Amino acid sequence: MKRLEEIQEISGKVFFPTYNRYAAAMTRGEGAYLFDTEGRRYLDFLSGIGVASLGHGHPALAEAVCEQAKRLTHVSNLYFMPPQTELAARLTEAASLDRVFFCNSGAEANEAAIKLARKYAREKYGEGRHEIITLEDSFHGRTLATVSATGQAKVKEGFAPLLEGFIHVPAGDIDALRRAVTDKTCAVMLEPILGEGGVVVLPDAYLQTVRKLCSERDILFVVDEIQVGMGRTGKLFAHQWAGIEPDVMTLAKAMGGGLPLGAMLAREKYADVLAAGSHGSTFGGNPVACRAGLVVMDHVADGSFLDHVVEMGELIHARFNGMAARFGFIEEVRGRGLIVGVKLSVPCKEIVARAFEKGLLVNCTQESVLRMLPPLIISEKEVEEMVEILSDIFKDTV
Ligand SMILES: *Cc1c(COP(=O)(O)O)cnc(C)c1O
């Protein structure tokens, strides 16, 4: 299967039509660029939905993965694995959290957090304290529990009955959250920046108040950093901008640099809740994925790397704010570091399609928010290339 046409034809027959894919079959990547079967080159401002944060074909990452694949690929969690332990130690040292559970995806990380919160509350307070408050327009995954947690109707459609006990409140509205908290509440779970929800940055003061509220009521404060953790915002974890310490944090996407790897981290206080036999994963913390994770940590847990993320984020914001003066349909530029949302007053589907034709990969959330999640190693030159392509398209947009 060497040509796009053939791949498209067969794919149309053998896959569930779950994904609306662009007409490209990617075969190779190098830094911020992807190449397809037809020899076309794309500037990747999505990095596989915020996953390939070190860019494509990173030599140190490829080498570590190859070396580990030759040495040992899988043994299950019946045994210790040196790379897994090393990565867990590195993560707990970098985060203000003490315990790690490894899994393979974001949804699984959030599942672990949901199970932890419910079990902690049951053991300490007995039955009935199982409600979890999440935000409207949030996204927490595609498993049944995380679909129930998600605050968007479109992901729930057709899957009822969902898991009970999830309450959604408007993002950023502290009074609504206060009203929703009862003796039945065991956790508040939120994304510090709502990614799929349209790149909505929650104010630091809001996060600080949620922190306080959760501490007062012994409610677990769970931050879903699956999209914005691991350096994406210019700090290792996005909640650090608010100077808070959550009780639980979930990670995935960028954590394995392209390999499937997720994690749920929590404070020491909750360590015994997930006792032996209460939770688990066959693949979770696979040594190959963890070797990749160690390379990612080597790079992103570094001050000058994070400074670069901040700098490139500021450059992108400055360019779009500049364009907003010329193009009236640009309403707002938002985000932090290298998660950028450009809110338009027009639908962005057409703009994204035209960008694809011109060899630029971006996407669209909430109908009218142009979203960018470039590799964190993006250069000034590549930012300018993206700006040139988009401003060209904007000229023809009304
Ligand atoms: C992507 C994402 C998830 C789900 O991760 P999967 O690896 O697709 O299961 C959960 N929460 C947030 C904030 C995400 O961006």
Give 73's contacts (C-beta < 8 A, 6+ positions apart): 286, 287, 288
Cβ of 141 closer than 6 Å to ligand 1, yes or no, is yes
Could you tell me the distance, in angstroms and rounded to a whole number, from the CA of residue 71 to the centre of ligand 1? 30
State how far the Cα of 74 lies from the Cα of 137, in Å rounded to an integer. Answer: 37
Q: What is the dihedral of CA 386, 45, 95, 89, to 10 degrees?
A: -130
| Structure confidence at residue 164 (pLDDT) | 97
Atom of ligand 1 nearest to the CA of 253: 7
214 has a pLDDT exceeding 90: yes
Largest CA distance in the chain: 61
398 has a pLDDT exceeding 80: no
| Structure confidence at residue 397 (pLDDT) | 87
Pocket test for ligand 1, best of 227, 283, 371 (most atoms within 8 A of CB): 227
Every domain range in the chain assigned CATH 3.40.640.10: 72-300
Chosen CATH of 4-57+303-395 out of 3.40.50.880, 3.90.1150.10, 1.10.1020.10, 3.40.50.300: 3.90.1150.10
Print the SS3 string covering the chain: CCCHHHHHHHHHHHCCCCCCCCCCCEEEEEECEEEECCCCEEEECCHHHHCCCCCECCHHHHHHHHHHHHHCCCCCCCCCCHHHHHHHHHHHHHCCCCEEEEECCHHHHHHHHHHHHHHHHHHHHCCCCCEEEEECCCCCCCCHHHHHHCCCHHHCCCCCCCCCCEEEECCCCHHHHHHHCCCCEEEEEECCEECCCCCEECCHHHHHHHHHHHHHHCCEEEEECCCCCCCCCCCCCHHHHHCCCCCEEEECHHHHECECCEEEEECHHHHHHCCCCCCCCCCCCCHHHHHHHHHHHHHHCCHHHHHHHHHHHHHHHHHHHHHHHHCCCEEEEEEECCEEEEEECCCCHHHHHHHHHCCEECEEECCCEEEECCCCCCCHHHHHHHHHHHHHHHHCCC
Cβ of 234 closer than 6 Å to ligand 1, yes or no, is no
The number of residues making up the chain comes to: 398
Every domain range in the chain assigned CATH 3.90.1150.10: 4-57+303-395
Buried b (16+ CB within 10 A) or exposed e, 243-274: ebbbbbbbbbbbbbbbbbbbbbbbbeebeebb
Note the pLDDT tens digit of each residue in 149-189.
999 999 999 999 999 999 999 999 999 999 999 999 999 99
Chosen CATH of 72-300 out of 3.40.640.10, 2.40.50.140, 1.10.10.10, 3.40.50.1970: 3.40.640.10
Q: Give the count of beta carbons closer than 10 Å to the beta carbon of residue 367.
A: 11
Across 275-294, average pLDDT: 97
At residue 2 the predicted structure's pLDDT band, cuts being 50, 70 and 90, is confident
1 has a pLDDT exceeding 80: no
Pocket test for ligand 1, best of 51, 103, 191, 253 (most atoms within 8 A of CB): 253
At residue 349 the predicted structure's pLDDT band, cuts being 50, 70 and 90, is very high
Cβ of 252 closer than 6 Å to ligand 1, yes or no, is yes
Note the pLDDT tens digit of each residue in 307-329.
999 999 999 999 999 999 999 99
Q: Could you tell me which of 169, 191, 189, 190 has the C-alpha nearest to residue 178?
A: 169
Could you tell me the distance, in angstroms and rounded to a whole number, from the CA of residue 196 to the centre of ligand 1? 9
Note the pLDDT tens digit of each residue in 351-387.
999 999 999 999 999 999 999 999 999 999 999 999 9
| Structure confidence at residue 78 (pLDDT) | 97
Note the pLDDT tens digit of each residue in 109-119.
999 999 999 99
Across 91-117, average pLDDT: 98
| Structure confidence at residue 187 (pLDDT) | 98
| Structure confidence at residue 15 (pLDDT) | 98
Cβ of 106 closer than 6 Å to ligand 1, yes or no, is yes
Report the predicted TM-score, pTM, of the whole model to 2 decimal places.
0.98
Cβ of 140 closer than 6 Å to ligand 1, yes or no, is yes
273 has a pLDDT exceeding 90: yes
Atom of ligand 1 nearest to the CA of 141: 4
Note the pLDDT tens digit of each residue in 13-41.
999 999 999 999 999 999 999 999 999 99
Looking at the DSSP bridge assignments, the partners of residue 365 are 369
| Structure confidence at residue 50 (pLDDT) | 98
State how far the Cα of 102 lies from the Cα of 108, in Å rounded to an integer. Answer: 9
Q: What is the pLDDT of the chain when averaged over all its residues? A: 97
| Structure confidence at residue 240 (pLDDT) | 98
237 has a pLDDT exceeding 80: yes
At residue 339 the predicted structure's pLDDT band, cuts being 50, 70 and 90, is very high
Across 220-248, average pLDDT: 98
